[in-house]
């Protein structure tokens, strides 16, 4: 049983390696260049080469930094990104460690703790660029977590359960994206902001903050930040698939394909959502910070609250009575 605690980090690291290679190749096609193709066949060993480079580089710690918090911050962020996977139903309702009825609340609570690691990293580095990046990231994550919470409340009211497996099973006949399409758009854009992806990568804006809250990190500690960020991207893709694309269920309950390929349905859907993340990075420019905050508080929050209110009124008059 305890081997699962070793397999989860290994699988996450392997998935991140595949994602980084996929992203670099796709972006290369977008920009009419080759991308990584020298290390191994078709560049397939490039993530391994990058991992060895980070592991064997010298870890430099600024002399004016707070050493304990400086080292603890990336470890905390990486551990929190791994904890969330414990309640995710990955294949056909099989949860990795333990299935709980408040599955989404658990993920939401653990994800909210990640902002403390970012603030710790920015403050402990004792660098103005890192500190500004930490403040930006904290404000950004808090702002868009509000919208994500309201959006998911709509899905939970529609399904009537916090259990992730129940949410998937409720889409047996029709996926939620066809019923709650505006919620999907709001959730996807908010997920981009939550994971610091383009066009919302303001905490790591190279032209302004060099590299943001992780500017003073190198070698293994930087690798932990990198793994946590891409792990959260894959986690968000899983949540989008579970909430809106029916999880492991096929489209319109095509039974013959379901029984033949039930293990790969969710993988194909997650790859599609991950491709959308990469597509946005390759096509959209970066927002200004004031535009980012205005979008969250003046656009997404009123729209999500209005949609929640309208849906509650609809449920009250058409289903309760």
- Rounded Cα distance between 146 and 190, Å, is 9
User: What pLDDT was estimated at residue 26?
Assistant: 92
Start-end of H helices in the chain = 4-30, 46-56, 67-83, 103-124, 128-159, 164-169, 176-179, 181-194, 206-209, 219-244, 255-283, 289-294, 301-315
> What b/e readout covers 247-264, taking b as 16+ CB neighbours within 10 angstroms?
bbbbeeeeeeeeeeeeee
39/51 Cα distance (integer angstroms): 13
- Which letter, b or e, does each residue of 60-90 get, where b requires 16 or more Cβ atoms within 10 Å of its Cβ? eeeeebeeebbbebbebbbbbbbbbbbbbbb
Q: Tell me, what's the pLDDT at 305?
A: 93
- Torsion-angle region of 112 (φ positive above 0: left; ψ -120 to 50: alpha; else: beta): alpha
Model's pTM, two decimal places?
0.91
One-character DSSP codes across 67-85: HHHHHHHHHHHHHHHHHGG
Domain definitions of the chain by residue range:
60-320
| pLDDT string in tens for the chain (321-residue length) | 567 778 888 888 899 999 999 999 999 988 888 888 888 888 889 999 998 988 888 888 888 888 899 999 999 999 998 888 888 887 665 666 666 777 778 888 888 888 888 899 989 988 888 888 888 888 998 899 999 999 999 998 888 888 888 888 888 888 999 988 999 999 999 999 988 888 888 777 666 667 778 888 988 899 999 999 999 999 999 999 999 998 888 776 555 555 556 667 788 899 999 999 999 998 988 888 889 899 999 999 999 999 999 888 888 777 655
């Amino acid at each position: 049983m305890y081997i699962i605690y070793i397999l989860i980090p290994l699988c996450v690291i392997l998935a991140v390696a595949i994602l980084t290679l996929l992203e670099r190749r796709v972006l290369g096609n977008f920009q009419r260049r080759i991308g990584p193709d020298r290390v191994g066949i078709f560049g397939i060993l490039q993530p391994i080469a990058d991992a060895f480079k980070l592991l064997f580089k010298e870890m430099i710690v600024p002399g004016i930094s707070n050493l304990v918090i400086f080292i603890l911050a990336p470890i905390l962020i990486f551990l929190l990104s791994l904890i969330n996977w414990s309640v995710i139903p990955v294949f056909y309702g099989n949860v990795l460690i333990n299935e709980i009825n408040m599955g989404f609340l658990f993920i939401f609570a653990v994800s909210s703790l990640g902002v403390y690691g970012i603030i710790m990293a920015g403050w402990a580095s004792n660098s103005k660029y890192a500190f500004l990046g930490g403040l930006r990231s904290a404000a950004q994550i808090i702002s868009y977590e509000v919208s994500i919470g309201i959006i998911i409340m709509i899905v939970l009211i529609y399904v009537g359960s916090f259990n992730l497996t129940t949410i998937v099973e409720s889409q047996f006949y029709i996926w939620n994206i066809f019923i709650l399409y505006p919620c999907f758009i709001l959730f996807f854009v908010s997920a981009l902001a939550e994971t610091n992806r383009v066009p919302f990568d303001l905490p790591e804006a190279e032209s302004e903050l060099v590299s943001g809250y992780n500017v003073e990190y190198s070698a293994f500690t930087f690798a932990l930040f990198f793994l946590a960020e891409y792990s959260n991207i894959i986690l968000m893709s899983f949540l989008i698939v579970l909430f809106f694309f029916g999880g492991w269920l096929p489209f319109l309950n095509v039974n013959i394909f379901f029984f033949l390929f039930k293990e790969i349905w969710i993988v194909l859907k997650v790859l599609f959502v991950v491709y959308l993340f990469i597509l946005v990075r390759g096509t959209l420019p970066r927002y200004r910070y004031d535009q980012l905050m205005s979008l969250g508080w003046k656009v997404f929050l009123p729209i999500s609250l209005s949609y929640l209110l309208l849906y509650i009124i609809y449920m009250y008059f058409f289903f309760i009575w």
